[in-house]
Every structure is written in structure tokens, then in C-alpha cells.
Amino acid sequence: MARMQKQISSALISVYHKDNLEPIIKKLNDLGVKLYSTGGTLAFINKLGIEAIAVEDLTGYPSIFGGRVKTLHPAVFGGILYRRDNNEDIAQANEHNIPPIDLTIVDLYPFEDTVNSGAAHEDIIEKIDIGGISLIRAAAKNHKDALIISSRDQYTELLEILESGNGATSLAERKRFAAYAFNVSSHYDTAIFNYFNEEEKISVFKNSISKQRTLRYGENPHQKGMFFGDLEKVFDQLHGKEISYNNLVDIEAAISLMKEFEGETAFAILKHTNACGVAVAKSTKEAYLKAFEADTLSAFGGVLISNTEIDEATALEIDKLFMEVLIAPSFSKSALAILTSKKNRVLLQLKNHPQDQAIFKSLLGGVIQQSANSTTDHKAGLSTATKKAPSTQEIEDLLFASKICKHTKSNAIILAKGGQMLSSGVGQTSRVDALQQAIKKAHTFGFKLEGAAMASDAFFPFADSVEVANKAGITTIIQPGGSKKDQESIDYCNNHNISMVFTGTRHFKH
């Protein structure tokens, strides 16, 4: 076991951020560790009244090319990489006067922050760390003999190790920090590649997200679940239990759906990523009640979302329902007082919804990726396929239904009227099945379908769907078109005074 312990006698410190570094410097000094440093870090150490050797004095070369080359020298990398149990390495180190470096502390240039700030290309390029990333890889490779601290996020753990081990580290500790280091370096390189690949479009899959949280479980209790990303950028959790894997999936679906209704007062209720109620109205309360009316059964345990503030009147109505999550841009004080009466109810204040440019998932031992479906059907993009054109109100109903249909599992049918979703047919193996499901559901909750609008996520392969719709009282239809037998559906609509428009855009969702 003694062989596994390594006493730190020297350290190289070269960091961008100096936050929380002071206690470590002081502890290393107390332990009698010889310090080497560069530039701003050296000045920081000296201000603490602690001596450190400039890397330039170690290498015999000044920092050159505007600081681009400081540590790239055999005296530095040799001190990190030479094997302490290899006689030939030891002899070469002695021959070339290369002192050992047992601890390397690096905090890389903030490349991602610089990109996100909107900085010019030239400034971004200067934030590509060369020496730092090389030091990280070198010390991590030689973790048998050296310890690498590759991020300021590791300072607290390092200080604990220095204090508990009195300056000695175990192989297990060095190996763990080496793993951290290669995670830092691979993430850094991925960020740089993805920046360049915005223009180059090299067809490879690279994605790296450092921030993570462990979830209670995955889709089911026997599955493990994790989320990689920064939820705090998206919303603030104001109240309730820990968010689950399934909650997150539904939250994403809810926010994506609600983005379709910018500029309107809208409310939606979702279950298993599908809307069971959506409505637009003059007030938040009215929108909620209309959405709830569409399916009072499925709303139980659902995820609710509003694109306007939840006021007291709306909160009083919502409080009558058992639900998992409520999302809104804001909550009035009185609304919060009402809604926080149930301890597990999750309340989320939406801040931002990152627009994913690409969507991917794992399958068959690999990954499939596609661009996001950012197309929303608009009036200007509609072409009337039938002799009868839809009225102004019918066009509003058709577009409203189409927005919901876009976010519904295929095969999907949405029935709507007057800014209210009446029912849906979701995830069926045939379009006729989806329509029949929607009709049955509408009747179950007391809706009459005379004059209702119907949206379909894909074309009708036969005229059977429009025939079923006509018999239910539906008078206007929106669909992508593109079937070889479109004319059969058009002819049926013409013969039965139904208006139908084509969008030219399919909205499959699996």
C-alpha cells in the first residue's frame, strides 16, 4: 500500500480563474511543496506572500507569441511525464536537470463562455487553450506518479485530500482525477470541434454535456435515470417534489407545444407527451377550463402549462385537480399561496426554452439524428384542394388543430372548434382508427362535432377517413396531401360539401 502513496513535493499551477485557489496555495506552502507557475497565476501567488518559481526560469525560455507558448517545453512536460520507477527515465531526467512535477493544477481558457458571449471569431480562437490542455493530458496519462487537477470545480476535493493525506495521494485518487481530466479535455475538444463544424458540416456525431443530475429512476422504477444539461437555464422550480424522468419528458413536450401559441392566451394539459386538452381564450382561467373540458379524465395526474401568468382565479380552479406539474412564466402571490398547499405539486416558472437544432436518440447500437421540426403550418402556406373553401373561422380552427397535431404521436387526428381542442386520436396503427378514437372520445365528453375542424398529421391513403369524418359532422379538414389517391378524398369532400386544405408538410411524430 505504501508504494501506492505519493507525496507531493512540487506543483505546477497555471489557471485562468483564481476563485477559491488561495486556500490550496496556502496549504501547499504549509506542506513545503515547491511551486511553479505562469503569468497571472504567478502574480496571484506572489500577492499572497508566497514564493513560486516562474516557468520561464525553469525552461530558460520566455513566454512568447503573445502568451501562446509558455509551458510547452521538455523541462515542464518531462517533469510531469517521466516514470518515477523507470531507471532510464530517472537517468534522463537527471541528465537534463528536469525536476519532478507531482501535482498539476490547470483551469482552461473559457472557450465555451467566449463563444456564448457572441465574441468575434479572432477572440474565440485565442481562447483555445493549448498549453493547458496538453498539461492535463500529460499529467492524467502519468497518473501513476502525478496528480492532475483539471478544473476549478475540483478545488474543494483537492483541499480535502491535501488535509487528510498530509500532502500524500493514493493511486485510486490519482486515477479518479485522471478520469476527471480526460472528461474535461474531451468535453473541451468537442466544444471546439462543434464550433468549427457549424460551418464545415462534417458528418460525425459528437455531443458532450458536463452538468448532470441523477433522477429518482428512469421511465420505470427498475431503470436508472439521469439528466445531462442545465435545467436552471430553462426554469426555476418554485415548489414540489423532485422532478422525475417522465416529468422531464412531459415538460419538454408541453413547452414545445406551447411555443406554437405565442401571442395568444393558451393553456394545455398533457399526459405521456400527448395533449388531452388545449385551448386559447381571453383569460387564463377560461383557457384552462376549456382545456380541462376536453378530457376531464386524462387530466388527472397530468402536466399543465400556461403561456400567461397563473392568477388567483385560475389557481382556484386548478387546485381542484390532482396534477403532477404546472408550468407558467409567472405566478401571482395569491396563486402561489393556493397551489403550494399540496407539498408534492411541482410548480415551474419558465425562463427559457432552448431551441434544439438537432434531435437524436440511441438505437441499434448507434445514434440517429435529425433536424428539429421547426415548421408550423400558416395560412399563407395552405392550398385549397376542394371546390368549397374554408371560412375565416374554419381556417383559424384548422391551423389551431394543426399546431396540436404536430406535437401528437402518430397516427394522429385532432378535432377542434372555436379555439378548443375537442378530442384527439393518438398513436394508432391506422388513420381511420385514430379518427374513430377521436370521435368516440369527443362524444364521451359531450361534444357535438357538427361544424368541427379535423387535422391529420399525414395524408389520407384512401377516402375512408373523410367519409367517417363527414358522417360525424366534421365540415373542414387540414392535411399534408401527397397521396396517390388524394383525388378520391377530394371527390368525396366535393360531393359532401366539405372544405379541405393541403399544407404540403407532414408532421409524423414517433
Q: Model confidence over 90-141: pLDDT tens digits? A: 999 999 999 999 999 999 999 999 999 999 999 999 999 999 999 999 999 9
Distance CA 250, CA 386 (A): 37
Q: Is 96 a catalytic residue?
A: no
- The predicted-structure confidence for 334-393, as pLDDT tens digits, reads as follows 999 999 999 999 999 999 887 777 899 999 999 999 999 999 999 999 999 999 999 999
| pLDDT (mean) for 54-69 | 84
Look at residue 138 in the predicted model and tell me its pLDDT.
Answer: 96
Q: Is 353 a catalytic residue?
A: no
Place 62 in a pLDDT band, splitting at 50, 70 and 90: confident
Distance CA 65, CA 369 (A): 41
Q: Name residues whose C-beta falls within 8 Å of residue 397's C-beta, 6 or more positions apart in sequence.
A: 416, 417, 418, 419, 452, 453, 476
Look at residue 63 in the predicted model and tell me its pLDDT.
Answer: 80
Side chain identity at residue 93, one-letter code: A
- The predicted-structure confidence for 236-270, as pLDDT tens digits, reads as follows 999 999 999 999 999 999 999 999 999 999 999 99
From the number of C-beta atoms within 10 Å of its C-beta (0-12, 13-18, 19+), residue 150 rates as buried
Residue 487 has pLDDT above 50, yes or no: yes
Q: Name residues whose C-beta falls within 8 Å of residue 137's C-beta, 6 or more positions apart in sequence.
A: 181, 182, 185
Distance CA 275, CA 295 (A): 10
Look at residue 356 in the predicted model and tell me its pLDDT.
Answer: 77
| pLDDT (mean) for 266-284 | 97
- The predicted-structure confidence for 444-472, as pLDDT tens digits, reads as follows 999 999 999 999 999 999 999 999 999 99
Look at residue 234 in the predicted model and tell me its pLDDT.
Answer: 94
Contact at 8 Å (CB) between 207 and 227? no
Distance CA 437, CA 458 (A): 17
Residue 273 has pLDDT above 90, yes or no: yes
Give DSSP secondary structure letters for 359-410.
EEEEETTEEEEEE-------GGG-EE-SSSPPPHHHHHHHHHHHHHHHTSPS
Distance CA 439, CA 423 (A): 7
Angle, helices 464-472/486-495, rounded to nearest 10 degrees: 30
Look at residue 64 in the predicted model and tell me its pLDDT.
Answer: 80
Alpha helices in 120-204 (DSSP H): 121-126, 131-141, 155-165, 171-200
- Among the listed residues 26, 27, 241, 272, the single catalytic one is 272
Look at residue 1 in the predicted model and tell me its pLDDT.
Answer: 42
* Cis ω before 20 (30° cut-off from 0): no
Tell me what the pLDDT averaged over the chain comes to: 94
Residue with cell 499529467: 139
| pLDDT (mean) for 36-51 | 94
Strand, coil or helix: what is 125? helix
Place 4 in a pLDDT band, splitting at 50, 70 and 90: confident
Instruction: Tell me the pairing of strands 266-271 and 303-306.
Output: antiparallel
Look at residue 67 in the predicted model and tell me its pLDDT.
Answer: 77
- Among the listed residues 141, 144, 175, 496, the single catalytic one is 141
pLDDT above 90 covers what percent of the chain? 90
Place 2 in a pLDDT band, splitting at 50, 70 and 90: very low
| pLDDT (mean) for 293-314 | 96
